Amino acid sequence: MSDWVGLFINYETVGKQLKPHKTEALNRRQSESETLSPHRAVIQINNTYLELIDRWNYQRGFITVLSLAFILILFGFVYIIVYFGFFNPFPNSGVGEMVLGGIFLIVFLGTILMFLHMLKRECFSFTHYPIRFNRKLKKVYVIQPNKKLLVANWEDFHIGLQQYSRSRWDVRFSLLDDQEKVTETFALPYTGFSQYSPELLQHWEFVRRYMEDATAKTSYDAVTEVFPIHHRKETLKKSFERVMIATTGGDQPINRTQRLIFWATFPFRFIEFIGRILSVKTSKIPKFPDWVEQECTIETNDPYDFEQHPKPKLQSEPIKPFEYMIYTALLLISIVIFLGFIDLLSLAKGENSGLLKALFFWW
């Protein structure tokens, strides 16, 4: 669950001093890469502000499915405890069994509340949690998962590469108090497996150059497409694409590698796709306050406004005839493995779902 850090509870650094062995400071005046990579995280870009998606948007939908599944399972256990504990108790059940049942009931209800909290960060909330960088006023605006607005000056942030799990790093923006303790923090969308990850440094360089250069030209040139979810919710097609590119990331059009991974893991990706649709359709688009929009007024003839000057859409890598056979084979294999896995789980419970047998019988 490390890639969901900061979504359900505060970041691990809040209220603490930054640890030198887990933090590597970045100099906003110093270049870290010759290449700039937006990593398909741009919502809007112009010469006034750059708006990015949140770090959790790439995997959006997974938490929805996970939470709903566990909530249904736990409600089943609660029903069993209540039914056999209060309405139809076993003949030989005594006080000990009642107390044990009550303990399990409290644990299950507490766990349900936890998963409901997780679910509400993806469903019945905001479609995304935008990060906006105003290059003219040198200010940063962030709508956080708790729906509060964080506003601070660009120069006030301590910016560094932060290790948040054994093998994951992000670009972390932190506000520090007089005792060097973190009071507020957020991270850029893209994360890496190392503080030396070229893609991570390229992502930071994209934001750094936007805020530090005289114009937005260099960052604008690096953007090949935007994800315009500030006005409308993403379409089903866009949700499908987002699930597909989440397998490998990158700024390139959908390619052969992404398709191979997607069809090889189709049952899981399809479930994630359904979860993403549910989370987006049940949530509302976040809006910055009017005073923020006034501070971020776009110039009439802004040459770097992607909405006024869009670029040709990225064309996916064409599918060759032999690839259809490969994708079909991967799809069938992934379904067989998935159904076999469910059969093994049912056998472990002393049952036999027979899904795999039913599949071959249908064929």
- 3-state secondary structure at position 159: strand
Taking the model in full, what pTM does it have? 0.86
Gap between the Cα atoms of 34 and 41, Å rounded: 19
Q: Tens digit of pLDDT for each residue in 318-353?
A: 777 777 687 777 777 777 776 666 667 666 656 666
DSSP 200-265: HHHHHHHHHHHHHSSSSHHHHHH------TTTSPPPHHHHHHHHHHTTT--SSPS-HHHHHHHHHT
pLDDT attached to residue 351: 66
**For the residues 197-221, what does the mean pLDDT come to?**
95
Q: Tens digit of pLDDT for each residue in 77-136?
A: 898 888 877 776 666 666 676 778 788 889 999 999 999 999 999 999 999 999 999 999
